[in-house]
Amino acid sequence: MENLHQNKSFWSKYVFSTDHKTIGTQYMIMGMIMAGVGGYLAYVFRYNLAFPGKSIPFYGMLGPQAYNAFVTIHGMIMVFWVGMPVLLSALGNYLIPIMIGSDDMAFPTVNMLSFWIFAVSALVLIASFFVPGGAFGGGWTMYPPFSAQGYVNHNPNFFTALFSGTSLLILAVALELVAMLMGGINFLVTTINKRAKGMTPWRIPVIIWFINIAAVIFMFSVGPLVAGAFMLLFDNVLGTGFYDPHRGGDPMLWEHLFWFFGHPEVYVLLLPSLGVLAEIVPVFSRKPLFAYKTVIYLALLSAFLSVLVWAHHQFVAGIDPRMATFFSIGTILISIPFAGIFLSYMATLWGGSIRMKLPMLWAIGFIGLFLVGGLTGLFLGSNTFDIYAHDTYFVVAHFHYTLFPDIFFGFFAAFYYWFPKFTGKELNAKLGKWHFWLTFIFFNGVFFLLFFNGLAGQHRRINDYSSFSLISREPYQTFEQIATVCAIGLMLSQFIFLYNFITSFRKGKKAVKNPWESTTLEWQSDSPPPHGNFNPYPEVHRGAYDYSLPEAKEDFTPQNVPNVN
Amino acid sequence: METQQNHLTIPIIKIPQGRLGMWVLIAGELVIFGGLICFYLLNRIRYPHWGDMAAHTNTFIGALNTVVLLVSSYTVVRAHQAALKMDVAKVRLWLSCTLLGGILFLVDKSIEYAHEISEGFTFTSPKLVAAGDHVGSLFWSYYYIMTGLHGAHVLAGMTVMLIILIQTRKGKNMHRVELAGMYWHMVDLIWIFLFPLLYIAK
């Protein structure tokens, strides 16, 4: 097997590879590149918000149309082209086969195809900036009628409508969803069918459970949106009337479709990250995960509730108030399973002998920041408050306090934790600490003050507040400037991470097989794991979190150890 | 590699990998069509006028196509039975019959589309829109997107079956006959929903 791998050419080894670790790397690198693009867009429009009317370094002047396009594509990229590939695809591809003790995914070729469709979707998205009229600027939710103007504006030129920013965006999203669907099929089949001997369901590590639950939520909620996205494309290009009230259609249908997918989507992003915490917190507390089974049941409950909350995004869209009450209750209910999961992590910390290593720092930072996001979510979940706060900076600050810890803190925790395993090199811990503290401080600097801007009524889609003298008042403009300075700091501190990544990868100290002394199967393989992962294949004898067993000599007992005595 | 893996990793639920993957794929596909059917139903309840439009669809061809698909589902089951016995000649015979069913279905569908388009009922139906019948034109948009997506699935199923027909020439990949059959049944099942919704409910 080893020879087989080495005989492969550069193209089949690194580019069109079917190895799950290589595909995981491809997804991760692609996600990082897209995060760079999304970050650059954020830099441009944040600079514009702080210093309206000034020329922006490295960009130039930003008009209102371009401002809205930048905000729209920033949101799109961060959710679909950073969060999804990094948290679901990269973590899923890296971890599922190796943590269940298998050699590869169930369908390696489908896996490769999934990545390349994803890569094409990213290119289509970037291309949408360079067509006449520029990228779509109607918000990442793509509500019609704004996203269905192509036929009206370009009629009868079919190709202009097809190659407009709007159509390319819809197409890119549809392609991305197809890629993730193929990945989801792979995750589920691999986990059901390719586990090592003895890896019974209640011995599977929480992260594998969570990634699979996320894949199920995704596959259940995305189907109608795939159909709906093509309907929107036809509305935009051919002039059908699916979402046009004048033609008998209904724009609310799109809002329901989008959020029927879009809200479960945030749990698709959240669950893999929570899984990362479930792996890291026990290892660095030297204690078994508190209430392992309950955590999984809670995740299943949240998966069920996640498809019952979507219309809380539409409280001001004219839905029936009785329905709004139902969705308010659902939204507040869904905080219960997540509170339970976080409680389990805190109970795991309680009385543990905590090792404050880098992954643990990010994990604890995640818990702290997500608390702010989760608590403000309770306010927004209630429709009475949401009607006031809708589309203000309060909402912006809220979802950045949930998604930023989720995507970035979750990813960095996973990255610092598994880097020694997958590269065989150690990271520079000192640089890592600088990276963590700067990211943590600057992130709070960007978004904490924006809560106050939101409560003061500032609206998120206005590019220049100086033309609205009544609401443009101090200290809110100063807050915007502080946020922008911190945002630039936040982006600059990511270069520490990049530097650390590249130098450690090239010249880092050689890592040992199991540097964190953890129990799960991936640490029992070599660092980096060879093609095929294990030799011989492990047999599982115990659950994933056997730390500090009283009868064992060491304070961790790997899953493949048959007998502690 | 194959033998080593079978030897060392023992699946807990003993479903062949391809079959399990196909079930998950079918689950994903059903949600896509399920969504479309829901949108259709909501609009159908909202607009009784859609019944008048459904009267223009050709129930005879629709019924004929239902029969064609059901028969082709039967033939694919026979192909699967033959594949279990590793009877290459029979597999190829029954798979060809199924392919023929698919071709017949698409021919019928094309005749039907041609007829409807000649009457002015197209994807956007400019004739109806010009006459002020916007709601009617929306019916045809739904009609074409539902039958069109279904037709694309028929075509995909036929492509897969053609590939398997070529592969089984030397008795290779016989287990794939079952997978193509499962997909084909799904295509059939979706049509069983589309037929009453678009052709019978007037």
Q: What is the pLDDT of residues A199-257, one digit of tens each?
A: 888 999 999 999 999 999 999 999 999 999 999 999 999 888 899 888 888 999 999 99
Residue with tokens 């992130």: A443
C-alpha–C-alpha distance, residues A118 and B101, integer Å: 35
Token pair for A233: 């494309």
Mean pLDDT of A54-70: 91
Amino acid at the residue B59: T
C-alpha–C-alpha distance, residues A383 and A58, integer Å: 41
- In the 8-state DSSP scheme, what is residue A538? P
B32 touches chain A (CB under 8 A): yes
Amino acid at the residue A267: Y
Mean pLDDT of B115-140: 91
Residue A539 covered by a domain: no
B196 touches chain A (CB under 8 A): no
B89 touches chain A (CB under 8 A): no
The predicted structure's pLDDT at residue A1 = 39
Please name the helix (run of DSSP H) or strand (run of DSSP E) that holds residue A113, with its range, or none.
helix A108-127
B4 touches chain A (CB under 8 A): yes
pLDDT at residue B150 tops 70: yes
Which of A234, A257, A537 is opposite residue B9, by nearest beta carbon?
A537
Token pair for A261: 């997918």
Q: Say yes or no for a CB contact (<8 Å) between B27 and A219.
A: yes
Contact A354, A284 (CB under 8 A): yes
Token pair for B165: 């027909």
Please name the helix (run of DSSP H) or strand (run of DSSP E) that holds residue A84, with its range, or none.
none
pLDDT at residue A6 tops 60: no
Domains: count for chain B: 1
Percent of chain A whose predicted confidence (pLDDT) is above 90: 71
Q: Say yes or no for a CB contact (<8 Å) between B135 and A248.
A: yes
Which of A101, A234, A250 is opposite residue B9, by nearest beta carbon?
A101
Classified as helix, coil or strand, A453 is helix
Which of A189, A197, A200 is opposite residue B24, by nearest beta carbon?
A189
Most B-contacting residue of A104, A185, A222 (CB-CB within 10 A), to test interface? A185
CB within 8 Å of chain B, chain A residues 404-463: none
The predicted structure's pLDDT at residue A290 = 94
From chain A, the residues in CB contact with B134 under 8 A are: 241, 246-248
For residue A565, name the pLDDT band (cuts at 50, 70, 90). low
Residue A215 covered by a domain: yes
The predicted structure's pLDDT at residue A282 = 96
Contact A373, A398 (CB under 8 A): yes
Mean pLDDT of B152-157: 96
Residue B6 covered by a domain: no
pLDDT at residue B184 tops 50: yes
From chain B, the residues in CB contact with A230 under 8 A are: 145
Question: Looking at residue B74, which CATH number applies to its domain?
Answer: 1.20.120.80
B52 touches chain A (CB under 8 A): no
Most A-contacting residue of B31, B140, B179 (CB-CB within 10 A), to test interface? B31
- In the 8-state DSSP scheme, what is residue B125? -
Please count the CA atoms within 13 angstroms of the CA of A461 that sit on its side-chain side: 11
The predicted structure's pLDDT at residue B13 = 56
For residue A558, name the pLDDT band (cuts at 50, 70, 90). very high
Mean pLDDT of A31-41: 96
Residue B111 covered by a domain: yes
Beta bridge partners of A60: A56
Residues 6+ apart with CB under 8 A from A174: A226, A229, A230, A233
Mean residue pLDDT across chain B: 89
Mean residue pLDDT across chain A: 91
Q: Residue A110, class by beta-carbon neighbours within 10 Å (0-12 exposed, 13-18 middle, 19+ buried)?
A: middle
Condensed to tens digits (0 to 9), the pLDDT of residues A501-524 reads 999 999 989 999 999 999 999 999
For residue A8, name the pLDDT band (cuts at 50, 70, 90). low
Residue A145 covered by a domain: yes
Which of B5, B15, B124 is opposite residue A239, by nearest beta carbon?
B124
Residue B22 covered by a domain: yes
Token pair for A379: 């306010």
Token pair for B31: 């949600």
Residue A319 covered by a domain: yes
Q: Say yes or no for a CB contact (<8 Å) between B11 and A227.
A: no
Q: Peptide bond before A156: cis, by omega within 30 degrees of 0?
A: yes
The predicted structure's pLDDT at residue A247 = 82
B5 touches chain A (CB under 8 A): yes
pLDDT at residue B4 tops 80: no
C-alpha–C-alpha distance, residues A203 and B171, integer Å: 40
For residue A156, name the pLDDT band (cuts at 50, 70, 90). low
Residue A545 covered by a domain: no
Mean pLDDT of A9-25: 85
pTM of the model: 0.93
C-alpha–C-alpha distance, residues A218 and A265, integer Å: 7
pLDDT at residue B125 tops 50: yes
Residue B8 covered by a domain: no
Query: In 3D, which of B190, B66, B195, B15 has the Cα closest to residue A223?
Result: B190
Q: Name the least confident of A271-280, A462-471, B9-18.
A: B9-18
Token pair for A80: 């679909």
A536 touches chain B (CB under 8 A): yes
Residue A409 covered by a domain: yes
Q: Say yes or no for a CB contact (<8 Å) between B134 and A241.
A: yes
Condensed to tens digits (0 to 9), the pLDDT of residues A380-417 reads 988 889 989 999 999 999 999 999 999 999 999 999 99
Residue B1 covered by a domain: no
Q: Which domain holds residue B138?
A: 17-200
The predicted structure's pLDDT at residue A2 = 43
Question: Looking at residue A433, which CATH number applies to its domain?
Answer: 1.20.210.10
pLDDT at residue B3 tops 70: no
Residue B173 covered by a domain: yes
pLDDT at residue A428 tops 90: yes
For residue A467, name the pLDDT band (cuts at 50, 70, 90). confident
pLDDT at residue A471 tops 80: no
A234 touches chain B (CB under 8 A): yes
Classified as helix, coil or strand, A329 is helix
Q: Peptide bond before A475: cis, by omega within 30 degrees of 0?
A: yes
Residue A543 covered by a domain: no
Classified as helix, coil or strand, A425 is strand
Condensed to tens digits (0 to 9), the pLDDT of residues B38-78 reads 999 999 999 999 999 999 999 999 999 999 999 999 999 99
Which of A103, A189, A220 is opposite residue B21, by nearest beta carbon?
A189
- Phi/psi at A392 (nearest 5 deg)? -100, 175
Domains: count for chain A: 1
CA angle B36–B38–B39, rounded 5-degree value = 65
The predicted structure's pLDDT at residue B2 = 39
The predicted structure's pLDDT at residue B12 = 52
The predicted structure's pLDDT at residue A7 = 58
Q: Which domain holds residue A148?
A: 19-524
Q: Say yes or no for a CB contact (<8 Å) between B129 and A537.
A: no
Condensed to tens digits (0 to 9), the pLDDT of residues B76-110 reads 999 999 999 988 999 999 999 999 999 999 999 99
Contact A16, A26 (CB under 8 A): no
The predicted structure's pLDDT at residue B7 = 41
For residue A430, name the pLDDT band (cuts at 50, 70, 90). very high
Residue A349 covered by a domain: yes
Classified as helix, coil or strand, A100 is coil
